[in-house]
């Protein structure tokens, strides 16, 4: 998976420099920005080239931790962090989040942006992400739209047939939401694009 995503890392970073985050990430960012970000800590799981957490740092968040399996994506994220003046406020770790040692200190905001579809069995990922969330859990995942379901299922079958090193998975969006709610979180925002569902949940006090 490292090699698969690293091939696209430079392209993602160039797009971010030219246009900023893509539409689903913008929706997620704006939803989080509607709450007070001052002093907030961020854990960005599957952070890619860093567009979400770096933009949130621009909006007032205090610090961020980015985790990704792709060394190429993390290299691009570090370069962007330096160019945006956030290098001292970001820590990057390479690897699978599920294999990382749990932190004793939760993050105020945990982000899973287009990550759940990378896992065949997302239950443990949601549970671990929710356990690290002190306040918000921000998710984007394939929506209930027919186009989304057909597209992801087709790519999954094609990837299996051609033995790609990586292919995405489509999960029942209602099931994903239920798993997050069962972890003690309450939905406070929901929207979707043509393909992606964006959901923000908050820990119940």
Identify the CATH number of the domain in which residue 67 sits.
3.40.50.150
* Contact yes or no for 167/156 (Cβ under 8 A): yes
Res 9: pLDDT:
93
61 domain residue, yes or no: yes
Single out the residue of 137, 123, 117, 115 nearest to residue 187, CA to CA. Answer: 137
Match 């060394």 to its residue by tokens: 71
Rounded Cα–Cα distance for residues 67 and 46 (Å): 6
pLDDT digits (tens, 9 = 90+) for 90-112: 999 999 999 987 676 899 999 99
Low-confidence ranges of the chain (pLDDT < 70): 102, 104, 205
Is the entire prediction scored with pTM above 0.85? yes
Say if 161 falls within a structural domain.
no
Instruction: Report which of 16, 47, 54, 55 is spatially closest to residue 129, judged by C-alpha positions.
Output: 47
Assigned domain for 184 exists? yes
Q: What is the pLDDT of residue 2?
A: 78
Task: Please tell me the total count of domains within the chain.
Answer: 1
Phi and psi of 180, rounded to 5°?
-70, -40
Three-class secondary structure of residue 34 per DSSP: coil
pLDDT of amino acid 203: 93
| Predicted local distance difference test score (pLDDT) of residue 204 | 80
* Inter-residue contact 88 to 78 (CB < 8 Å): no
Structural domain containing residue 115: 2-143+171-203
**Residue 150 within a domain:** no
DSSP H/E element including 3: helix 2-6
Distance, in Å, from the CA atom of 81 to the CA atom of 86, rounded to the nearest integer, reads 5
pLDDT of residue 5: 87
pLDDT at 196 (0 to 100): 97
Task: Tell me if 79 is assigned to some domain.
Answer: yes
């Amino acid at each position: 998976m490292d090699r698969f995503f690293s091939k696209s890392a430079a392209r993602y970073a160039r797009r971010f420099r030219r246009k900023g985050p893509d539409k689903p990430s913008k929706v997620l960012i704006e939803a989080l920005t509607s709450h007070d970000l001052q002093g907030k800590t961020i854990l960005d799981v599957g952070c890619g080239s860093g567009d979400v957490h770096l933009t949130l740092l621009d909006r007032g968040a205090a610090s961020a931790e980015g985790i990704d399996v792709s060394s190429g994506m993390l290299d691009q994220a570090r370069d962007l962090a330096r160019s945006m003046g956030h290098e001292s406020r970001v820590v990057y770790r390479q690897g699978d989040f599920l294999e990382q040692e749990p932190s004793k200190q939760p993050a105020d905001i945990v982000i899973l942006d287009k990550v759940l579809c990378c896992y065949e069995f997302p239950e443990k990922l949601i549970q671990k992400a929710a356990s690290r969330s002190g306040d918000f859990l921000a998710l984007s995942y394939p929506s209930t739209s027919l186009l989304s379901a057909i597209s992801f299922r087709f790519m999954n079958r094609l990837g299996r047939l051609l033995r790609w090193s990586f292919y995405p998975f489509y999960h029942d969006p209602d099931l994903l939401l239920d798993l997050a709610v069962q972890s003690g979180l309450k939905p406070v925002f929901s929207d979707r694009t043509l393909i992606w569902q964006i959901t923000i949940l908050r820990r119940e006090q």
